[in-house]
Amino acid sequence: MLQGIQSFHNVAEGIIWPIFIFMIFSSIESVALLIVISSIATIIFTYIIGKIKKDKRNQMMIIGSALVAVLWILRLVIENEIFYYASVFFIGLAYILISLPLDSVLFEEGEAKDALAASAYRNTFSMFPRIFFYGFLFIMLDIFDISFISATVSMVLFLMFVYFFGVFKDPKIKNI
């Protein structure tokens, strides 16, 4: 389920945001710069965050989803070229806080039960919500604001779901 909520952000960040940047700056170099920035952020932050203890995974996901939601809100109100690129770097950090713990849960469950079923569930929950996302964008005329708001709402839902229900079964972690 969390994969489905997360997929709204993935589509907005990975597809709609580069199109938005391309339309604003009118150059393919601007989109290429996004890829370079996000790759550097991912390499740095994956190494750093990979050293955090497993009992902090729920907290990491809550912090990460809150940061991503705030950055999407800021993207809606701040119109600045430097901020657009800086936000890609900081979303790279925040997204690693979400994806590493979530993927580790899937890996652990797949290892304990059935790896193929875990992968199938992950892909289904990741792809199915995109039908609604793209359908809604197709109906709307202002695709950028709607997709950015959808990404913000998805991260707020993600944060609330992890905060109230948790992802990990360890009783010590439940009370964040």
For residue 82, the one-letter residue type is I
pLDDT for 74 equals: 92
Q: What percent of the chain has pLDDT over 70?
A: 81
pLDDT tens digits for range 25-48: 777 887 788 878 888 888 888 887
Whether the CB-CB separation of 161 and 5 falls below 8 Å is answered with: yes
Q: What is the pLDDT of residue 176?
A: 42
Mean pLDDT, residues 137-154: 72
Query: Could you read off the pLDDT of 34-86 as tens digits, one per residue?
Result: 878 888 888 888 887 777 777 788 888 888 889 988 998 998 899 888 898 88
Neighbours of 38 (CB within 10 A): 19
How many C-beta neighbours within 10 Å does residue 76 have? 13
What's 56's DSSP letter? G
Determine the pLDDT at residue 174: 47
Mean pLDDT of 147-162: 81
Task: Output the six-digit token pair for 172.
Answer: 């010590």
pTM surpassing 0.85? no
Q: Mean of the per-residue pLDDT values for the chain?
A: 77
Domains of the chain are: 2-174 (1.20.1250.20)
